Structure 1
Amino acid sequence: MNVLSRATLLALVPLALPTPAAAQVAAVAAAPARAAHDLEQITVTATRTEQAIKDVPATVDVVDREQMDRTLVRDLKDLFRYMPGVSVTSGFGRFGIGDIRIRGLDGNRVRIETDGIAISDAFAIGSYSDANRNFVDMDTLKRAEVVRGPASALYGSDALGGVVSFVTKDPADYLAPGKDAYLGFKLGYQSDWQGLSGGATAAFGGERWSGMAVVTHRQGRETGNRGDNESRDDTRTAPNPQSRDGRSLLSKLVYAPDAAQQFTLTVEGNEDRSTTDVLHMLGFQPSTRGTTLLMTGDDLQTRARVSLEHELSGLDGSLADSLTWRAYRQDSETTQDTVEERIAGGRPQRREREFNFDQRVHGLEVEAHKSFATGNVGHVLTWGAEVSRTDLAQKRDGRAVDLLTGASSNVVMPDVFPVRDFPRSRIDNAAVFVQDEITLANGRLTLLPGVRVDYYALEPQDDPIFAEDNPTMQSAEITESNVSPKLGAVWHVNDDWSTYASYARGFRSPPYSDVNLGFTNLQFGYAAIPNPDLRPETSDGVELGLRHSGRSAYFGLAGFYNRYDDFIESTVMVSRPPETPLVMFQSRNVAEAEIYGVELQAGVELDGWSEALQGWSLRGAASWQRGQDLTSDQPLNSVDPARASIGLAYDAQDWGVSLHGRFAAGKTRLADPADFAAPGYGVADLLAHWDFAPGATLNAGVFNLADRKYWDWADVPGVAADSAVLDRYTRPGRNVGVSLAVSW
């Protein structure tokens, strides 16, 4: 069943399930018109209330639909291309885009959500299994918001490093008074992966009913790099041949029985598939003492969700002026098949490996807002509750076939298939939170205290496959509760200048895959065992900032310090013979770390200096970070080197052009001096847009204008400095992108 069929099926499933679970808040405010400058943009994610960025005691970035279109965003790396301090990892070979990294933390320590619903976890084990969280089609979004730093006081576990909130389009984004129908088409091409994309959007509206559907399709090949060795062995530096195909559906039906309430039913599905000829894995493999003649990968990931939301306003109750409840179900699945033909011991053999990672979640959330005053002090109280249930299953299966006799075996060393690396698991979450936005001193001082209480219960399920592979292991149950406070303050010195300070507590519950990771390999003499005593990872973060928000210029400077405790390290060796019969591995709370840094953003509309510069603007941002593992007294490799971006733009009434620079310092602090230290770089991009007819827009860009050869640090940690294949990890050379959008 493909993802679009699954999304349609989900829409028919009753939402009142016996064990409902909870959605995170959806940042669903209508996208604002393009702000005068970045600090005037509206964010919802940072405080769960609509606020201009300049009034929020945190560093927040907002990328709206217009910015995405003009910078030709097609994936996560493109989205954060000009956002220093936020990066996206990717890998060579087969699996592509990996994690979003914020202030040195990535993976499941960063919360990613779409319309308030958390994207499924990442999970990887071995060379043939890598489930990422790249589940979002950029063309279905109207904006993306990034909150940097710990955000557990509002978003609970997994928000240790920050929050990335994707907000999808609504019918109201296309309709206006007097316009009750919309039809639009969009076509695009990107040369770095020879990618073609197309999409269609239809919307309708009436007095009470409105709706929309967005359908997109994309296809292309492997993403290019600057490697030119096309050999069919481990010396290859050119990308492996790959075919990629994806599609998505976003549909919404809105019913407003009166002016004070609105129901929204959303059905969304996303599917991406790639097939790869894994040429760099061919040849003699010392680890398996065989020669690989062929290896192919077939990777599929899908996400489907249905949600129902009810918004009520004008309640004027003692506890709420407005209230929103949401219920949802979401299914996310990754399936990866690998076929290898090899010769071992003089006999030809075919090895087939199958990896599956499935996550299903049901959720229910209630959120309310109440405005009131106590004397001369104003309050906006935000409170709510969430419950969720998540079911997880992971399995690796496979077989080895003797190509001379046809004999088949489920033994593919070191595994005897099928195996699970953790038992089927169920996670129940519940939380309550409250935040008070307190306004003092005639509006010049705003305080934002808040607190959230989370309950987390991990229950492994009966799992014969896991039990057979780990007959002596007892899976662990975990029950945890956590209190996450925060306090922020914004002081408006005058109409243009303000300063802020904040403290936030972060936490991350012990992951199921660490608590109950288990496998035994008698041939190689090692085993992994569960750890029921894992403690949550925690953090304490402080941030200070100074901002200027004028008519034609803005400026923001922030300094932050985050201290992390009880980091969980997976599969740490805890004993070895003769102490125990096998080498034993176990996940442990072992690491303490600190990350601190400075971030800057600024911009100016140049016509404020001279009317002759009407239409010209200059924008820039920079980030410097440093991280240290305090347990080992080693630098944190996940912390990016200093980065900066700058853009000079000219906008006329119907067209515009901009020149952007992206810069990175060389990586100098490494945990292992033998690792490759990516050198610094500077890359220029040239972008243009043209509204050549009513409802018709052409966007075009040339990226890496000077055809520079460079490495993004997010793509190379752990690569040896003396590696002969460093060019594998280079970014694409000069490439172009173009899109055409037409609407009626």
Structure 2
Amino acid sequence: MSRVQFQATPARSTSLRIPARSALALAVVLALPAAHAAEAPDAAAAEVNELNRVVVSATRTERQVQDVPATVNAIDRERMDNEMVRNVRDLFRYEPGIDVGANRDRFGLGDIRIRGLGGNRVRVLVDGVSVSDSFLIGSFSNAGRNFVDLDTVKEVEVVRGPSSALHGSDALGGVVSFVTKDPGDYLKDGAKTYFGLKLGVESQNEGLYGGATAAFGGERWSGLVVVNHHQGQETENKGTRDSLDGSRTKPNPQNSDGRSLLTKLVYAPSENQRFRLTVEGSEDQTDTEVFTARGTALSMPGAPAVRVLSQNGDDHQTRARVSFAHEIDSLDSVLADSLRWQVYRQDSETTQRTREERVNVSNNPSPTLRLREFNFDQRVYGAEATAHKDFATGSVEHTLTYGFEYEHTDFRQKRDGRAINLTTGAVSNTISPDTFPVRDFPVSQTRNAGVFVQDEIRFADGKFRLVPAVRVDRYELRVKPDAIFTTDNPGVKVSDLSKTSVSPKLGAVWHFAEDWSLYGGYQRGFRAPPYNDVNLGFTNLQFGYTAIPNPNLKPETSDGYELGLRFSGKAVYAQLSGYYNDYKDFIESSRQVSAPPQTPLIVFQSQNVAKARIRGVELRGGVDFGELSPSLAGWSTRFAAAYSKGEDKTADRPLESIAPLTATVGVAYDRDVWGVELAGRFAKRKSDLPAPNRFAAPGYGVLDLLAHWNFAPGAKFNVGVFNLGDKKYWDNGDIPGTLAATSTVLDRYSAPGRNVGASVAVSW
């Protein structure tokens, strides 16, 4: 039994080839009168000192990074624009310790990994609502989590390390919180209306994107509409072999397009409260000609060898959300000073279709057309509330934060297909080892309910902060096996599941001297047993194997410890932290637990087996040279580095998901209306692989050049040239786990060469 997964991401030529219609559109935008334009909504003064940024995710209260007992990153809209961010990989391009892998053959960007932990072990939120889970099985089914159009986002916060005390299940590795744009971000200085246009191009995938934003406001009501569209082809790499089979190293041809909509309506009955209705949606479509799948294919034991003549992928994903929120900044109550609550519904769906022609390699070729369809649907209903109360006990000040979260989620997954004999016209719903349709887990429902409380205790005029917190979560899984599942899994008994978890944390920040502080603490993380692992099901009598449920799965847990030192001065800021995370009861899917003669069939089952340890050191900082000398006004630098080491303590081998030592350095010069930055990205060779014959990503160093120009009031031009030296290199997260060091297709997984991105935005 084998459930194989291909890995991939786009790729293309380094030339900036803009279609005629794109060039015309760009010329039109550049010609738009900008003289009457209002200030850009994101034109806040650049903040060199990142420790002064205000974040919410780490403590659910608005606090500067230097007052938070955790390692937190915040990326605002201005930085996203200046760095030409188009997707989550671009978003974390200069953030060592945060990685985004990719499937280079077809499916594109994968999960976000924080300190080596990714997949559904990182909680990804949009305005407090969880993004759909990832799910993959086999070579033709890969539902990812790349559902967020970053052009609708104004800020991203990342909490590194276990965060379950405030964010519950799935925050085992950390939290990525996207905050979408709001009418108030555009209606500045009493403005009643705002309109903006943005258009951009990128050479690495011959991409074109554009968007329009409109906002209005009055004494009580305000609203926002953001519409975006993007299109492109495969992302380039450094491969040169243009063959039409598995020996190909150039990227598979792709065409992609997508669109998104964000609307908000805000009613403010007073200065201290707001009601907010949000409706947002996105849709993405990618068509791939999978040349790399052509050629002799693996077949089942005893079956004739086959040759794949063609394979095409049609991948479509959608996400839609509606939420209603209420915020009260000043509440005259003994229980709370402020309150925020929201209710929401979100639907996410991934549909992937594969069309494949193949022929037997024998005297009787028997050409066959295989049509497969994979569908993964997730629907979430939820509610949450958070309250804050400030009070004092003597000379000690407290900020009490407490609240609850509730989510009800429906999961459906199905694989379907048929094989058509192109000689006889015979149609069969059997494509070994499956007889379609099949479900790999039964229709399922989960209910997650959590309550949390946190107290920020401030001593010595705020110089010392102690932050204890605890959360209790109740997780329930209910399954509804239908005819599709029971037919595919005769005699398999599925199980419901209920678990309760308690997640404590204790953090502290000590400002022991002017500009200096220590921070750190302990935090427990957990992840509830996933629906698909509890009741994973597939049976194939022909090949003698079956998978059975495991109602005894335990939650995955972690114990995380962190200690850090910060310096935050006018000219220089720096942060050095070390962490140690111990993980227990990792769930291994489809583990073989028995075989004949012990049992009639080979039996697979998801089990708690792995114990893992990840530890590391992270450094980040910057210098504003203008604060050191007036003659250096405008000059600044920023730097960051991350080193991690991880071991699978059960198997006594290194963890493959750990990235090598990585670092970034940027030197910038900014004036009132323009700025430029030379940024470097560096990585050490990946050395700690579990198998000696595996391909290890070599070390590399590449330079990028970024520039922006506010060429008129409310008009801004951004440009970036990436990989200036046109260097061939590999990102560790793009390399499949089965790629041998002697493989002849290594260049297929290489990163893009020199490429250019540019955008222009105007607003009124």
TM category, shorter? over 0.9
| Counterpart selection for 1:436 from 436, 442, 455 | 455
The answer as to 2:65 corresponding to 1:53 is yes
1:204 corresponds in structure 2 to 216
| Contact map agreement 2:48 2:622 (CA 8 A) in 1 | no
Identity of aligned residues (%): 61
Deviates further, 257-266 or 134-143: 257-266
Q: Tell me the CA shift for residue 609 of structure 1.
A: 2.4
Distance 1:178 1:133 in 2: 39
Pairing 1:520–2:539 present: yes
Letter of the 1:47 partner, please give it: T
1:285-300 maps to which residues of 2 (within 5 A)? 285-287=297-299, 289-300=305-316
Question: Which residue identity does 1:461 align to in structure 2?
Answer: K
Deviations 1:244-286 (A, max 9, x none): 0000000000001122221000000011100000111112213
Q: 1:54 to 1:601 in 2, by over 3 A?
A: same
In 2, distance between residues paired with 1:309 and 1:610?
48
Native 8 Å contact 1:325 1:365 kept in 2: yes
Q: Which residue of 2 aligns with 1:352?
A: 371
Match of 2:714 in 1: 695
**Would the aligned equivalents of 1:675 and 1:717 in 2 still touch at CA under 8 Å?**
no
Secondary structure of the equivalent of 1:493? strand
* 3-state SS of paired residue (2:747): helix
Q: State the match for 1:375 in structure 2.
A: 394
Q: Is the 8 A contact 2:371 2:419 kept in 1?
A: yes
Q: Quick check: 2:43–2:78 contact (8 Å CA) kept in 1?
A: no
Aligned position for 1:406: 425
Q: Give runs of aligned pairs for residues 450-461 of structure 1, distance below 5 A.
A: 450-461=469-480
Contact residue 48 and residue 623 of structure 2 kept, 8 A = no
2:660 is aligned with 1:667: no
**CA deviation after TM superposition for structure 1 residue 35, in Å:** 2.8
Instruction: Flag the 1:87–1:31 CA change in 2: closer, same or farther, 3 A.
Output: farther
Gaps of 5+ in 1: 1-29
Query: Counterpart of 2:704?
Result: 685
Distance 2:380 2:196 in 1: 33
Give distance in 2, aligned partners of 1:385 and 1:619: 38
Q: Is the 8 A contact 1:31 1:173 kept in 2?
A: no
Task: Supply the AA of the counterpart residue of 1:672.
Answer: A
- Alpha-carbon offset, residue 32 of structure 1: 7.1
Is 1:741 matched with 2:753?
no
Residue 37 of structure 2 corresponds to: none
Q: Which residue of 2 aligns with 1:538?
A: 557
User: What's 1:303 paired with?
Assistant: 319
Give the partner amino acid of 1:725.
Answer: V
Q: How far 1:674 sits from its partner (Å)? A: 1.6
Shift of 1:122: 0.2
Q: CA deviation at 1:123?
A: 0.2
1-structure distance, mates of 2:159, 2:210:
31
Specify the alignment match of 2:492 in structure 1.
Answer: 473
Q: What's 1:635 paired with?
A: 654
> 1:33: Cα distance to partner?
5.4
Q: What runs of 5+ residues in structure 2 fail to find an aligned partner?
A: 1-41
**TM-fit CA distance, 1:287:** 2.2
Q: Is residue 344 of structure 2 the alignment partner of residue 328 of structure 1?
A: yes
Name the SS of the counterpart of 2:416 in structure 1.
Answer: strand
Query: Are the equivalent residues in 1 in contact too, given 2:164–2:525 (CA < 8 A)?
Result: yes
Output the CA distance in 2 between the equivalents of 1:602 and 1:462. Answer: 54
Mapped to 2, the partners of 1:528 and 1:239 lie a distance apart of 36
Comparing 266-275 with 284-293, greater Cα deviation is found at 284-293
| Equivalent of residue 244 in structure 1, options 253, 256, 259 | 256
Q: CA shift at 1:494, angstroms?
A: 2.2
RMSD: 1.1
- Residue 402 of structure 1 deviates from its aligned partner by 1.3
Q: How does 1:168-247 map to 2 (within 5 A)?
A: 168-247=180-259
CA-to-aligned-CA distance 1:560-601 (integer Å, 9 cap, x gap): 000000010111110111111111111110000100000000
Alignment of 1:608 onto 2:632: no
Q: Which amino acid aligns with 1:291?
A: R
| Separation in structure 2 between the aligned mates of residue 495 and residue 43 of structure 1, nearest angstrom | 22
Distance 1:179 1:495 in 2: 40
| 1:341–1:348 Cα contact (<8 Å) kept | yes
Is the contact made by 1:31 and 1:143 (CA closer than 8 Å) also made in structure 2? no
Q: Distance in 2 between matches of 1:365 and 1:246?
A: 30
Q: Deviations over 1:158-187 (max 9, x none)?
A: 000000000000000000233100000000
Q: Which residue of the other structure, out of 91, 112, 130, is the alignment partner of 1:100?
A: 112
State the 1:717 CA deviation: 4.5
Separation in 2, partners of 1:580, 1:368: 55
**Structure 1 match to 2:4:** none
Are residues 1:82 and 2:94 paired? yes
Q: How far off its partner does 1:233 sit?
A: 1.0
Distance in structure 2 (CA, Å) of the matches to 1:129 and 1:727: 24
Is 1:343 the equivalent of 2:359?
yes
8 Å CA contact 2:529, 2:555 repeated in 1: yes
Q: Contact 2:48/2:636 (CA < 8 Å) preserved in 1?
A: no
| Equivalence for 2:521 | 502
Q: Which residue of 2 aligns with 1:313?
A: 329
Give the paired residue count.
715
1:134 is matched with: 146
Aligned partners of 1:114 and 1:258: how far apart in 2? Answer: 26
Q: Give the match's secondary structure for 2:85.
A: coil
Structure 2 Cα separation of the partners of residues 95 and 36 of structure 1: 37
Q: 2:567 aligns with which of 539, 544, 548?
A: 548
Q: Tell me if the contact between 1:32 and 1:42 (Cα under 8 Å) persists in the aligned partners.
A: no
The corresponding residue for 1:164 is 176
Residue 417, structure 1, aligned to residue 425, structure 2:
no
For 1:167-217, what per-residue CA distance to the aligned partner results, in whole angstroms no more than 9, with x for missing partners? 000000000233100000000111001100000000000000000000000
Distance across 1 between alignment mates of 2:170 and 2:232: 33
Paired residues of 1:186 and 1:198 also in contact (CA < 8 A): yes
Q: In structure 2, how many angstroms separate the alpha carbons of the residues matched to 1:119 and 1:146?
A: 15
Contact between 1:676 and 1:717, CA under 8 Å: does it hold in 2? no
Structure 2 residue matching 1:228: 3-state secondary structure: coil
Query: What residue identity is the alignment partner of 1:316?
Result: D
Could you list the per-position Cα deviations for residues 335-382 of structure 1 after superposition, in whole angstroms to 9, with x for gaps in the alignment?
A: 000001111241111100000000000001111010111110100000
Q: Residue 548 of structure 2 aligns to which amino acid in structure 1?
A: I
The one-letter amino acid paired with 2:760 is: L
1:31/1:64 contact within 8 Å kept: no
Aligned to 2:17: none
2: distance between equivalents of 1:287 and 1:724?
Answer: 22
Once the two structures are TM-superposed, the CA of residue 623 in structure 1 deviates from its matched residue by 0.4
Tell me if the contact between 1:31 and 1:142 (Cα under 8 Å) persists in the aligned partners. no
Query: 1:506-560 deviations in whole A, cap 9, x for unaligned?
Result: 0000011111001011222211111111000000000000000001110100000
Q: Contact conserved, 2:548 with 2:603, CA < 8 A, in 1? A: yes
Q: Which residue of 2 aligns with 1:64?
A: 76
Tell me the alpha carbon deviations over residues 379-403 of structure 1, each in whole angstroms, 9 at most, x when there is no partner: 0000001111000000000001111
Give the SS at the match of 2:513: coil
Q: The residue matched to 2:660 in structure 1 has which SS?
A: coil
Which amino acid letter does the alignment assign opposite residue 333 of structure 1?
A: E
Letter in 1 for 2:423: L
TM-score normalised to the size of structure 1?
Answer: 0.95
Q: One-letter code of the match for 1:411?
A: T
Per the TM alignment, residue 31 of structure 1 is displaced from its structure 2 partner at its CA by 11
Name the amino acid aligned to 1:84.
Answer: P
Give the distance between the partners of 1:550 and 1:608, measured in 2 at CA.
10
TM-score scaled by length of structure 2:
0.93
| Secondary structure of residue in 2 paired with 1:227 | coil
Instruction: Return the alpha-carbon distance in structure 2 between the equivalents of residues 720 and 436 of structure 1.
Output: 52
Q: Which residue of 1 aligns with 2:291?
A: 279
The corresponding residue for 1:364 is 383
Query: Paired residue for 2:167?
Result: 155
**Residues 1:464 and 2:483 are matched in the alignment:** yes
Q: Which residue of 2 aligns with 1:562?
A: 581
Matched, 1:730 2:745: no
The aligned amino acid for 2:52 is: E
The AA in structure 2 aligned to 1:476 is S
Runs of 4+ in structure 1 deviating by more than 6 angstroms, as ranges, are none
